[in-house]
Amino acid sequence: MEFHWYWRRLPKFWYIDISIFRSVQTLCTLVLMVRMWTIFNRH
């Protein structure tokens, strides 16, 4: 019974985890692009 409840809740946790991962990845990419752009402009 507990396992079944956990299994039903699992997809939502996976979705949230993937969502957070995507957000962090996007943020890191954005920061990297800004950093590269500032370094490129400096030279």
pLDDT per residue as tens digits for the range 1-43: 566 666 666 666 666 777 888 999 999 999 999 999 999 988 7
Q: In the block, which residue shows the tokens 């956990």?
A: 6
Single-letter amino acid, residue 4: H
In whole angstroms, give the CA distance from residue 15 to residue 30: 22
Q: Give the pTM.
A: 0.52
Tokens of 1: 């019974």
Q: Which residue has the tokens 């954005």?
A: 30
